[in-house]
């Protein structure tokens, strides 16, 4: 099946947020910063510490959330021309391809390391840092979406 892709900026930013938040190291860092913030809040309430550690944990938490929620997605979106181009994507049982004007690139599903499905996209990972986003709203109907999902999930033997 062939679908025509034109990305919508708000959807791409949300998909990039999903990508960053799903990373194991970012999850761990968020947990540690939240635990530090909670402990400092409790210790500040009990008057065991001065306001400075509590203020530092709050600023750290706000900065971290701003980076992962705003700065990183905007930076990636701005630097990547792909999100501003329109092109055709070929999704078939044994391969995935991209057609842009006169050029075409085709990958076998086994060349992808993982696929993650989010509410608006399929994230097709080549490795932990390189991925391709396929919007779900480009499929003509639910049957085409379901068929693409089956091909992706059976063709890509991910680690997750």
Q: How many Å apart are CA 31 and CA 76, to the nearest integer?
A: 24
Count the domains in the chain: 2
Contact status, residue 75 vs residue 19, Cβ threshold 8 Å? no
In this prediction the pTM is: 0.81
Residue 107: per-residue pLDDT: 94
Q: In the chain, what percentage of residues exceed pLDDT 90?
A: 58
Q: Are residues 16 and 69 in the same domain?
A: yes
Q: Residue holding tokens 């060349």?
A: 111
The token duo for 38 is 């909670």
Confidence label for 158 from pLDDT (cuts 50, 70 and 90): low
Mean confidence (pLDDT) of the chain: 89
CB neighbour class for 150 (10 Å; exposed up to 12, middle 13-18, buried from 19): exposed
Q: Residue holding tokens 């050029």?
A: 103
State pLDDT tens for residues 4-53: 999 999 999 999 999 988 888 888 988 888 888 888 889 889 989 888 87
State pLDDT tens for residues 133-156: 999 999 999 999 999 999 999 999
State pLDDT tens for residues 99-129: 988 889 999 999 999 999 999 999 999 988 8
| CATH number of the domain that residue 142 is part of | 2.30.29
Last residue of some domain: 29, 45, 79?
A: 79
Q: How many Å apart are CA 89 and CA 16, to the nearest integer?
A: 20
Domain holding 108, by residue range, is 2-6+85-155
Q: Are residues 46 and 89 in the same domain?
A: no
Look at residue 35 and tell me if it is in a domain. yes
């Amino acid at each position: 099946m062939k679908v025509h892709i034109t990305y919508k900026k708000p959807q791409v930013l949300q998909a990039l947020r999903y990508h960053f938040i799903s990373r194991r190291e970012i999850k761990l860092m968020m947990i540690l910063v939240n635990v530090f913030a909670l402990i400092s809040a409790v210790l500040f309430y009990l008057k065991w510490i001065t306001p400075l550690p509590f203020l530092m944990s709050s600023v750290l938490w706000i900065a971290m959330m701003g980076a992962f929620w705003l700065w990183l997605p905007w930076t990636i979106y701005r630097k990547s021309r792909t999100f501003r181009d329109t092109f055709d994507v070929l999704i078939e049982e044994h391969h995935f391809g991209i057609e842009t004007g006169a050029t075409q690139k085709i990958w076998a599903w086994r060349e992808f390391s993982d696929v993650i499905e989010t509410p608006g996209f399929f994230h097709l990972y080549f490795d932990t840092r390189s991925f391709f986003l396929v919007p779900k709203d480009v499929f003509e109907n639910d049957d085409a979406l379901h068929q693409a999902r089956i091909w992706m999930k059976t063709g890509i033997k991910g680690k997750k």
